[in-house]
Amino acid sequence: MDTRRPLRTLAIALGTAGLLISGCSSGSSMTGASSSAPRAAASPVPAALKTFYAQHLSWRDCGVTGFQCATMKAPLDYAKPEDGDIKLAVSRKKATGPGKRIGSLLVNPGGPGGSAIGYLQGYAAIGYPAQVRARYDMVAIDPRGVARSEPVECLTGPQMDAYTQVDQTPDDSGEVTALSGAFKKFATGCEQRSGEILPHVSTVETARDMDILRALLGDDQLNYVGASYGTFLGATYAELFPARSGRLVLDGAMDPSLPSVEINRDQTAGFETAFQSFAGDCVKKADCPLGTTSASDAANRLKQLFAGLDAKPIPTGGPRKLGESLATTGVIAAMYDESAWPQLREALTAAEKGDGSGLLSLADSYYEREPNGTYANLMYANAAVNCIDLPPAFTTSKAVSQALPTFEKASPVFGKGFAWAALNCAYWPVRATGTPHRIKAEGAAPIVVVGTTRDPATPYKWAKALAGQLSSGTLLTYEGDGHTAYGRGSDCIDTAINTYLLEGTPPSDGKKCS
């Protein structure tokens, strides 16, 4: 069972963590994207933060070939920087050449809760286009509370196993009480294990950490590629530091003006759109486990499968059984990338025959559960950031019940579960510090916002909205399936983004690719 659906690219091959040790520092400088538009003047560093901006990164090999790692300090509380610091993990792979080095390119895969270092070492620094890697130092920082940067912890492995199996489509008051109790236990676990850091994992604080890192890397402006939630992080950076914003690519964009309930409802519709695309493809195949007549029939078949699993979970070949909650998560996992559709067809076929192992495997990949029963901190950090960034979507079970019709209209397949999942922040021990608002980032260089028309997790209308809010935003559209667009097979998208990153020239606003 999710806290709130993580906004991330599931298909990313996340790498192995490196050891953070000391070494030599970098001091190269660069200038960000040029623009004929007026630029904001950079504000001086506040006196209370000068020691953080003046520190030196010590780099050494981190045990992953070609990569260096370091540790950076930032204030735990920016309102009281003198009260203590937090240690944040950083990694880089230096520009390989040929060509003149442009500077550093910071990357973030989203989440919130996704490890940026894992993404860097497992994909970005080896899988981004060669010409980009040739001219940029590829850099990542695990955000505060995530992975290697003093991670938020909430539950033990067995407790998390139990949490993911709680019925998230309650049919009576007893099941509502059980679900609410699970959310409360999750929140209490986070407070008990990570109470000190919980008030300080907001997107604003992480964006401010990124500016310290920019300075320590020797860059005048921040160049950045953020995916999914990483787009909100990048837009927040541009809002806080427009004059220090260089070439920013926001791929799979969020709309910062939306309240939590609308975010959850829009995501519900997004996953329905993605499922309809999957179902339309599936029913054309002779082996489709959801029938071969129509997408609507496939949806009904899937709902019947979920209902059966709700009544009677099936074996998986191990100690855990597959019930409705884990099955739903497994299906959702495959909606992020159409390359997972064949695996989903096989998993659904097996489930109809009483074998839940395939859907369980998909769900485990979504939750980042290891074979030994341990979990990465993705879901813990996801809740911690979401619940502090915005007030909760719902504060009572009654409010969820009242909103159910609109969620089920958005998705007959997923609506009920998504609505109830949005109750999790109601029990959070830390009051939200953020509010929905439009981000203009006046004075920033051109910012490229990328939207995919059938993106499940970040609906296309969000990209249109963010590009319209940003004073220097330009919208690049991928007409296709899946979550995010850069590096996923479209030469048109990749060429437009590469040109921007390498030359500073954004694509024309409204450019479309397929």
277 is catalytic: no
Q: Which of 176, 95, 169 has its CA nearest to residue 130?
A: 95
Summary count for the chain: helices (H), strands (E): 18, 12
Instruction: Based on the residue annotation, tell me whether 483 is a catalytic residue of this protein.
Output: yes
DSSP 45: P
Token pair of 342 as six digits: 């064949």
- 255 part of the active site: no
Q: 326 with 359: CB under 8 angstroms?
A: yes
211, 483, 490, 494: which one is catalytic? Answer: 483
Beta-bridged to residue 137, according to DSSP, are 104
Set 455, 472, 481, 494: catalytic member:
455
The token duo for 399 is: 């409010």
CB 36 within 8 A of CB 227: no
Dist. CA 394–CA 401, nearest whole Å: 10
Out of 149, 228, 472, 490, the active site residue is: 228
Report the candidate in 6, 325, 12, 11 with the shortest Cα–Cα distance to residue 160: 325
Query: Which DSSP string corresponds to 136-174?
Result: EEEEEEPPTTSTTSS------HHHHHHHHHS-SS--SHH
Strand partners, 476: 450, 511
b or e along 83-117 (b: 16 or more beta carbons within 10 Å of the residue's beta carbon)? eebbebbbbbbbbbeeeeebbbbbbbbbbbbbbbb
Catalytic residue numbers read 228, 455, 483
